[in-house]
Amino acid sequence: DLAGFVRRHMLKIYPQLADVAITHAWGGTLGVTTHRVPYVRTLAPGVQVAAGYSGQGVMLAPYFGKLLAEAALGETAGVELLARLPVPPFPGGRLLRWPLTVAGLSWYALRDRL
């Protein structure tokens, strides 16, 4: 049960919340970039993307969605500004990208279960 999972980890950090009920819980895959900065770009005319919120999607996604909607209507200033955020190359280059990604995801999945 997801609420139980959240409670167990929450109480390690905030034991004073032991008597607080968890009424909502959600989970899923996170898009984490290597440098923890979101990826916002225009990929082609009329095609914008915002991803890799690195755990900050609840806060950032609604705002970035607004910027993407504005870009679709021709107001591209917000997307252009965010597109200036640097995107470092993936460690290991193209050859090691997949094996290192699988190893990293497996490591953190294991840590989440311990």
Whether residue 89 sits in one domain with residue 41: yes
Q: Which domain holds residue 8?
A: 1-28
Whether residue 56 sits in one domain with residue 7: no
Residue 96 token pair:
């090691």
Mean pLDDT of 34-44: 89
Mean pLDDT of 38-52: 91
Residue 17: band (very low, low, confident or very high) from pLDDT cuts 50, 70, 90: very high
Whole-number Å distance between alpha carbons of 9 and 76? 41
Whether residue 56 sits in one domain with residue 15: no
For 65-104, how does the pLDDT look when each residue is reduced to its tens digit (9 = 90+)?
999 999 999 999 999 999 999 888 877 888 998 898 899 8
> What is the number of domains present in the chain?
2
Whether residue 12 sits in one domain with residue 56: no
Share of the chain above pLDDT 70, in %: 100
Residue 33: band (very low, low, confident or very high) from pLDDT cuts 50, 70, 90: confident
Whether residue 108 sits in one domain with residue 81: yes
What is the pTM assigned to this prediction? 0.62
Residue written as token pair 């999607």: 57
Whether residue 106 sits in one domain with residue 54: yes
Whole-number Å distance between alpha carbons of 31 and 65? 16
Whether residue 24 sits in one domain with residue 35: no
Whether residue 45 sits in one domain with residue 22: no
pLDDT at 61: 93
Whether residue 52 sits in one domain with residue 12: no
Residue written as token pair 């279960």: 113
For 103-114, how does the pLDDT look when each residue is reduced to its tens digit (9 = 90+)?
988 998 999 888
Question: Cβ distance 53 to 61 under 8 Å?
Answer: yes
pLDDT at 55: 85
